[in-house]
Structure 1
């Protein structure tokens, strides 16, 4: 009897262990507005299995354009959107039945750099006066932040230079490479690639000039936030990746995220990671700070795109991030 009982218990234990090993992961659809080394902690969280550790399987889709990414979220095409926080402000002004809520921050500075075509002259902001500046889309955070920085340095974007804003985001770099503009506002790694190829020279960082701001973050519908605890697990995984991205050697970070940039040299990815880490562009934790959010609203106000009162407590739920960081 004893042997039979032991055999039964052993078989039962084996079934339990197998069952645990085969535990099904919860699928979460995430839409990113673009593919960028600026988003390194997200890719690291996927590749280092932080999401899997917390029971999640991420289905990542790149949906070019903030409006398209938000449409996908509103229509339930995705569960979570990685997009500029200003987009949630625009949607809030339309009074949706199911509000959009920001719950975690990914980047905390502007991620663009000023690239000059003339690589020989000494740079000063005054040099932009009378030049042709190839900017970003009207109403988008890169353009609003860019204009804010120009004004901070005594440049009136509408009067002191020729501002080109009618080129699609995906074609801005090609336009500059083809000879349009004296200056251009670019994300990495394009800015560094242009410098390597002799097309232009990085002369200033909009991130360093602008300071801390919730530039890009994760948002979802209020109903999703209330209905399912996967948002908590998502935030836990993100926070672990954010810590790892700052603690690990830049080379290891570059190696981890390299599958997302197959056409980019590994050494260049490492260089860009170092640059973004040095200016603290990657958020060190998922908490969206109220003062930083106010900086975002100040930028939008200066750009003339904020047309209604915005309540931080309505657009940001920081309770999950606060608990995760604790």
Structure 2
């Protein structure tokens, strides 16, 4: 029979052993797995790509174990970066990443996630509250975008739907560099300007340009901004592509529950050079149009509509079918497995 002294010694011994195991477990606990680096290139830095910056700044990529390196570059450089493996994933339009590639390009880059559901450009005029009908553009001049840009392709599609043949019934200037178009319009060139945010809100704030039409709303749903990777990268990094898609889907879900002001608070650090009022107005404008989809799935009908518009515009060098250019596995998996509900007391009406 144990004496009181022996019982005390035994309890003390057991306590020491338990504490030793506890501290050993804390000290030698296996470290978290290292984050996997992903090189992303975007073709412009814009609030039109809002879900991407939410995913970065809210830590959704980090939650998935990804360390995203984001760089902004030209469309030509982004496409080349996939080939020479300087980028793992690029964010751009289908016209830039697939439709304008040489017809014999094999294998094609593959689009795996949609970031937007509408084009993000607008038509600006100089007079505030001007009544507008598309027929008003006949015999007028527009400062347009590059021929292979999604904005230009969809603008021309809209014009044709209203009986206006681009370059025949109206003049479209396409020789003005992108960095000079806003100033050219401000200085008196053109009757109208095709541009996107933040140029739109900058022009309105300056009193020399006002929105009369949303090209995205007029053109209808199309998977304009998409994430694209090489077939080889997707085949050899399926887990990374899935984690990346999960992160974008979380951001898209987050947007369904939060206001433009809340989104502004999250992404403002990604736009340090942009005036705060201009950035907020840009986000409000895009949100009011339901610019961003509820999930990253690229569906066939909008893809084919965009492809047909590119063909009519003469910007379909590669007639890639939906089956050849799009993979839906990752977006479907994300929607089936991610159950993300942001902490909020009230769902935002959109």
**Coarse TM-score class (shorter-chain normalised):** over 0.9
- Counterpart mapping for 1:216-227 below 5 A: 216-227=225-236
- Counterpart mapping for 1:225-304 below 5 A: 225-228=234-237, 229-304=239-314
Contact 1:89 1:315 in 2 (8 A): no
Correspondence for 1:147:
156
- Per-residue deviation, 1:17: 4.1
Contact 1:118 1:182 in 2 (8 A): no
Residue in structure 1 matching 2:143, options 134, 147, 150 = 134
1:291-323 Cα deviation digits (max 9, x unpaired): 111011111111122245422111101011011
Contact 2:55 2:247 in 1 (8 A): yes
- Counterpart mapping for 1:1-326 below 5 A: 2=14, 5-17=17-29, 19-20=31-32, 23-64=33-74, 66-86=75-95, 87-91=97-101, 93-96=103-106, 98-119=107-128, 121-228=130-237, 229-326=239-336
Unaligned runs of 5+ in 2: 1-12, 337-350
1:31-72 Cα deviation digits (max 9, x unpaired): 0000111000000000000000000111110002x2221111
CA distance, structure 2, for counterparts of residue 154 and residue 16 of structure 1? 73
CA distance, structure 1, for counterparts of residue 111 and residue 28 of structure 2? 39
CA distance, structure 1, for counterparts of residue 247 and residue 129 of structure 2? 45
Q: Normalising to structure 2: TM-score of the pair?
A: 0.87
CA 1:56–1:164 in structure 2 vs 1: closer, same or farther (change >3 Å)?
same
Q: Normalising to structure 1: TM-score of the pair?
A: 0.93
- Per-residue deviation, 1:190: 0.9
CA distance, structure 1, for counterparts of residue 324 and residue 184 of structure 2? 40
Contact 2:100 2:318 in 1 (8 A): no
Give the 3-state SS of the residue equivalent to 1:242 in structure 2. Answer: helix
Please, what is the CA RMSD of the aligned residues? 1.8
Give the 3-state SS of the residue equivalent to 1:91 in structure 2. Answer: coil
CA distance, structure 2, for counterparts of residue 160 and residue 130 of structure 1? 6
CA distance, structure 2, for counterparts of residue 294 and residue 71 of structure 1? 25
Give the 3-state SS of the residue equivalent to 1:29 in structure 2. Answer: strand
CA 1:317–1:283 in structure 2 vs 1: closer, same or farther (change >3 Å)?
same
CA 1:121–1:233 in structure 2 vs 1: closer, same or farther (change >3 Å)?
closer
Give the 3-state SS of the residue equivalent to 2:115 in structure 1. Answer: strand
Give the 3-state SS of the residue equivalent to 1:282 in structure 2. Answer: coil
CA distance, structure 2, for counterparts of residue 14 and residue 274 of structure 1? 47
CA distance, structure 2, for counterparts of residue 298 and residue 305 of structure 1? 10
Q: Which of 1 and 2 has greater Rg?
A: 2
Unaligned runs of 5+ in 1: none
CA distance, structure 1, for counterparts of residue 57 and residue 280 of structure 2? 16
CA distance, structure 2, for counterparts of residue 140 and residue 215 of structure 1? 10
1:59-104 Cα deviation digits (max 9, x unpaired): 110002x2221111211111110010122233362323x5311000
- Per-residue deviation, 1:5: 4.1
